[in-house]
Amino acid sequence: MNCPKCSALMESVTVESMQVDRCTGCSGLWFDLREHEHLKSVRGAEEVDTGDPARGKQQDAARNVMCPKCKTRMISMVFPEQPHIHYEMCSVCSGVYLDAGEFADYKQMTLAERVKYALTPLMKR
Ligand SMILES: [Zn+2]
Ligand SMILES: [Zn+2]
């Protein structure tokens, strides 16, 4: 599979028994159906996002991104709770592409929530 943004080869990496594809060029990440949502709650999963966020930012502007699996034009989306993160989703296979640094950013929210939750007294839960 080749990266939908820079065309470099994507390599398969295993995170918590899930297979994620990472670009050997720009370090963008490919998640199959809802994998990113699952991994968001997995501690340490952000380590898969080894890329340079500055590079990811540059690539964020790319439009007309084609799904590397089914060659459909992907839709540009944002996470409702983190509207600063732009990602691409395929409406056919539901694969999701995140630029370098975006998955770590996406995950950070959960950590913040977890801290908030931990600080909430038990009686109020
Ligand atoms: Zn790439
Ligand atoms: Zn697709």
Indicate the domain borders of the chain.
10-124
What is the CA(124)–ligand 1 centre distance, in A?
46
Please say if the pLDDT value at position 14 is more than 70: yes
Model confidence pLDDT, tens digit, residues 16-63 = 888 999 999 999 999 999 999 999 989 899 999 999 999 999 988 888
Contact 36, 106 (CB under 8 A): yes
pLDDT of residue 65: 95
pLDDT of residue 86: 92
pTM of structure: 0.85
Task: Give the containing element (helix H, strand E) for 118.
Answer: helix 102-119
* Proximal ligand: closest to the CA of 75: 2
According to DSSP, the β-strands at 82-89 and 29-31 are unpaired
Give the whole-angstrom CA distance, residue 45 versus residue 112: 15
